[in-house]
Amino acid sequence: MKVKNTDNINNSLRYLQQKKAVFDENKKDKFIIEGLGGKKKLNGKIAVAGAKNAALPALSASILFRNGFCVSNIPNIKDIDSMNILLEKLGAIVKKQAEKKYHIVTDEIKSVALDIEISKKMRGSIILTGVLLARFGKVSFPHPGGCIIGARPIDAFLNSFQKMGAKVQNRNGKYVVSVGKNKKLKGAKIFFNKITVTGTETLMLAGILAKGRTVIENAALEPEIKHLADFLNSCGAKIRGAGTSTIEIIGGNLLSAGNRAYKIPPDRIEAGSFLILGALSADNLEITDCDPKHMRALINILKDSGVPIIEEKNKIIIKDNGKIKNKHLKCIDIKTHEYPGFPTDLQSLMAIYLTQISGESLLFETIFEGRLNYTDDLINMGANIIMIDTHRIMIKGPTQLKGRELIGNDLRAEFAFFIATIVAKGKSVINNVRYIDRGYERIEERLSGIGVNIQRIKG
């Protein structure tokens, strides 16, 4: 059903206010990109970094270990820096042992209050709440922040903590959650009304030190969850069903890693980002250090559309793509869905793809109501997009995009702007680089390596 005009106007005003606030905060660094004018000229290899969405839960899990443990293949991004600072402010010892490898010891933690400023800017900080509550019986934190992509309530977290025997209070804008003196969290049956990845991770980790049996129903299925659970089980945890919709955890004692180091799996969202870029702008591109099995929805859609993709064990190859004109690629519709469906984190990037192929495509964002706000910027670049409502847009292509000055309002939309400006004709400027730095490691260096004309200008 179509949203009322007044709702659309109010949403647009809120978005403009949010963008202004974000821009005011980050006026310094910017990227300048010279577009390819629709030509497929990129070539070479680009490696995928470790997954941000696996690294943050892994670092949080350090609180469950006695004598510390090592995490390797950590991406070099701002969110990792922020998580490490959060841990250090609690009293943890975080040591960088080698490039992308950290050793974390949490035995001397003295505080259970998450830093307010960092937590307000970082949604992933909430994963720390469950482990702190499970180990120390108390945690305090502000409402977590992050990207501007719509409402992201934390009721599911708070209600679950209450089911596990905790008391939740709101004091001066902070949540204070506690289980009382000399008490522990109790195992409980938890059903998520809406699938939540961070909720699943937070409660799975909390259940490891809870008393008794915790069952999470309608759990997220993301492969990063099972990957972490398997490692935790090797260290003494008792988790069953990770990677399915029902996870069971039998609580016990602190974990011990011994000589084990947890290696972060490849970032399937980053791999997907490079794959969409390659589909539009590369002749021959090899995306290495990734797992194609975890990207089935995207790969199948692009193949069905006509993109020449070869899958190997740890790489994806786009071969002789320059021979294929975009106008000959097949029209497709996109509907986001929780894993293993099409990722919401890639829908803004696919919107760029849809502007370049022939026909009308419907893009349906089913998860976040604020995640289509980037469309005004694409229209200003020349895209033919009709906003149906806050969840659906109709895109007609192909259209020639033109370079513009842009401001990202969330991590994935900002990378979508990177793709749009690479495809476009002329020069573009992308401001507000804090979002891209939060999730993509050394992005200008890596894109330059495959032929993108990109420059970071320091403020």
209-224 in b/e burial notation, b at 16+ Cβ within 10 A? bbbeebbbebbbbbbb
The total of other beta-carbon atoms located within 10 Å of residue 154's CB is 18
DSSP secondary structure of 345-409: GGHHHHHHHHHHSSEEEEEE--S-TTTTTTHHHHHHTT-EEEEEETTEEEEEE----B--EEE-S
What pLDDT score does 145 carry?
66
Instruction: Look up 331 and say whether it is catalytic.
Output: no
| Burial class, 152, CB count within 10 angstroms (exposed 0-12 / middle 13-18 / buried 19+) | middle
| Residue limits of CATH 3.65.10.10 in the chain | 5-49+266-457, 52-263
Of the candidates 145, 151, 221, the residue with the CA atom closest to the CA atom of residue 371: 151
Strand 246-250 versus strand 213-217 pairing type: antiparallel
Of the candidates 97, 84, 91, the residue with the CA atom closest to the CA atom of residue 55: 84
Q: From its phi and psi, is residue 447 left (phi > 0), alpha (psi between -120 and 50) or beta?
A: alpha
CATH topology for 52-263?
Answer: UDP-n-acetylglucosamine1-carboxyvinyl-transferase; Chain (3.65.10)
Of the candidates 325, 334, 392, the residue with the CA atom closest to the CA atom of residue 357: 325
DSSP secondary structure of 227-245: HHHHHHHHTT--EE-BTBS
What pLDDT score does 409 carry?
77
* Element at 436 (helix H, strand E): helix 434-439
What pLDDT score does 195 carry?
95
- Collapse the DSSP code of 209 into the 3-class scheme (helix H, G, I; strand E, B; otherwise coil) and give the result: coil
What pLDDT score does 183 carry?
82
Q: 303 Cβ partners below 8 Å, 6+ apart?
A: 309
Mean pLDDT by 10 residues, the chain (459 residues): 39 43 57 97 98 96 96 95 96 94 96 94 92 97 65 82 96 91 89 96 98 98 98 98 98 96 97 98 98 98 98 97 91 96 96 97 92 94 96 97 90 92 97 86 96 93
- Collapse the DSSP code of 221 into the 3-class scheme (helix H, G, I; strand E, B; otherwise coil) and give the result: coil
5-49+266-457: CATH architecture: Alpha-beta prism (3.65)
8-state DSSP, 344: G
What pLDDT score does 369 carry?
80
pTM of the model: 0.91
Q: 290 Cβ partners below 8 Å, 6+ apart?
A: 48, 266, 267, 268, 271, 314, 315, 316
At which residue do the structure tokens 């109790």 appear? 186
Crossing angle (nearest 10°) for helices 155-163 and 197-207: 20
* 148 to 91, 410, 433, 444: CA distances (angstroms): 30, 6, 14, 23
Q: Which two tokens stand for residue 6?
A: 């007044």
Q: How far apart are CA 133 and CA 251, in angstroms?
A: 14
What pLDDT score does 11 carry?
41
Active-site pick, 147, 235, 290, 331: 147
The CA-CA-CA angle for residues 199, 204, 207, to 5°, reads: 125
